[in-house]
Amino acid sequence: MTSREGYDAYTLYLGIKLHFYSKDYNFVRYNGKVKADINSFLKRKDKYHFGKLYKKYKQDLQDFYIANLSVYDLWAGELLENECDKRYREWKKRHQKLTYMFETEVSDQIRKYKIDTLLKVNKGQHPRLLKAYLGSEISLETLCIMDEIIGFTKDWERLIQEKVVYPDVHNKINKYKVKSLLKIIKKRKINFLIKSLR
């Protein structure tokens, strides 16, 4: 590993971490650019962790970071743990079967509830779809795709009175939509959702 590879892994880490945990930073808009320099990086005690991450994941490093940093705010040493590798492999499987997963999760919810019932904020409480996400009945990906198609989070932001759990979920949805491949597959999902709602 060269110091440059470790530095590249570090700046990618900073950009994705800032994307998910800073309100003002957008990885796509800033093209992943962050304020960092290689001399400061070389003085860091964790520089070897970034080198190991680069060596292990190479071209998959961005996906690895997204899979883990979209869920938890982790430092480099924690990213080397087996749990993070397991989370990445599960994330990768979900994305490989995203179409099937989306269709299955949406179908299950629509079989139980009408779309209005799923999305309705009643007396400031969490809507059924949000409860399904919080209860792990649907994935973050499904929630993001549905929001891309329907655009319900703007209403939720205004109507949900609870200000502890939902603001974090709202931020996660918005940040994840920008950084993931969900926009690419949106068109196919729109057709499926329209058929499901008939």
Q: Do 78 and 104 have their domain in common?
A: no
User: pLDDT tens digits for 81-120?
Assistant: 999 999 999 988 887 888 788 889 999 998 999 989 999 9
Q: Do 76 and 103 have their domain in common?
A: no
Q: How confident is the model at residue 180 (pLDDT cuts 50, 70, 90)?
A: low
At 181 the pLDDT is: 46
Number of structural domains in the chain? 2
CATH of residue 45's domain is: 1.10.8.60
Q: Do 101 and 78 have their domain in common?
A: no
At 195 the pLDDT is: 61
Mean of pLDDT values over 26-31: 84
Q: How confident is the model at residue 196 (pLDDT cuts 50, 70, 90)?
A: low
Mean predicted lDDT score pLDDT of the chain: 86
Give the domain extent around 124. 97-197
Q: Do 84 and 110 have their domain in common?
A: no
Where does a domain end: 31, 57, 91?
A: 91
User: pLDDT tens digits for 121-149?
Assistant: 999 999 999 999 999 999 998 898 888 88
Q: What percent of the chain has pLDDT over 90?
A: 54
How far is the C-alpha of 53 from the C-alpha of 68, rounded, in Å?
13
At 184 the pLDDT is: 44
Q: What percent of the chain has pLDDT over 70?
A: 88
At 97 the pLDDT is: 84
Mean of pLDDT values over 143-160: 90
Q: Do 58 and 76 have their domain in common?
A: yes
User: pLDDT tens digits for 38-47?
Assistant: 999 999 999 9
Which residues fall within 8 angstroms of residue 28, CB to CB, at 6 or more apart?
178, 179
At 126 the pLDDT is: 96
